């Protein structure tokens, strides 16, 4: 959609927004780590606000797409984050959410030893719970994809490939991506 304005929340050093800029998108990043934001501004020449999405205080309906990867599980109020994302999106805008999948094969196999079962992750989502949260927050789900079956080194290569493909087909990948439309 035009104008093509893209926001990456939790953008680190701005690699993705630099790639989106190369594809013709106007871009903006939000990153709470000041050093990462400064690096991205200085080395990549991208716009990164150092702070939270709420602190950035973008006007309503600013962006055509908002992306946040491996972020929603870290925030104390995921519903509040989605409310703010929805506010800064245009009425026909897209939200792209990527997060660990608590219902994935790795989580099932490793339980508390799963690599995403860490104290920094305040809320973990399954495909079902993430879908419900997005829908309750006013998004229509357009696509869902999972990937990653077994972490490297946890199984022999002859087994890892087929298991990874099975997990992806069955929606039991270690990571879930959900595309929602406002």
Instruction: Measure the CA–CA gap between 18 and 25, rounded to whole angstroms.
Output: 9
Query: Can you give the pLDDT at residue 1?
Result: 55
pTM as predicted: 0.92
Low-confidence ranges of the chain (pLDDT < 70): 1-2
Whose tokens are 């109020």? That residue is 77
CA count, 13 A, side-chain hemisphere, 25: 22
Query: Can you give the pLDDT at residue 55?
Result: 97
Instruction: Measure the CA–CA gap between 72 and 103, rounded to whole angstroms.
Output: 16
Question: For 44-68, how does the pLDDT look when each residue is reduced to its tens digit (9 = 90+)?
Answer: 999 999 999 999 999 999 999 999 9
Query: Can you give the pLDDT at residue 152?
Result: 85
Question: For 144-171, how does the pLDDT look when each residue is reduced to its tens digit (9 = 90+)?
Answer: 999 988 888 888 999 999 999 899 888 8
CB atoms < 10 A from the CB of 138, how many?
16
């Amino acid at each position: 959609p035009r104008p093509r304005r893209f926001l990456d929340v939790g953008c680190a050093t701005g690699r993705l927004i630099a790639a989106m800029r190369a594809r013709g998108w106007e871009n903006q990043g939000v990153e709470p780590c000041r050093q990462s934001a400064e690096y991205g501004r200085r080395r990549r020449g991208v716009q990164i606000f150092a702070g939270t999405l709420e602190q950035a205080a973008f006007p309503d309906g600013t962006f055509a797409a908002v992306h946040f990867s491996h972020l929603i599980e870290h925030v104390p109020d995921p519903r509040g984050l989605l409310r703010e994302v929805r506010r800064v999106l245009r009425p026909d805008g897209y939200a792209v959410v990527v997060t660990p999948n608590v219902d994935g094969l790795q989580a099932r196999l490793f339980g508390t030893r799963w690599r995403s079962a860490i104290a920094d992750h305040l809320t973990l989502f399954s495909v079902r719970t993430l879908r419900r949260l997005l829908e309750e927050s006013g998004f229509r789900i357009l696509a869902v994809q999972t990937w990653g079956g077994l972490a490297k080194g946890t199984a022999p290569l002859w087994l890892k490939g087929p298991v990874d493909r099975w997990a992806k087909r069955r929606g039991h990948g270690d990571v879930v991506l959900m595309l929602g439309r406002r």
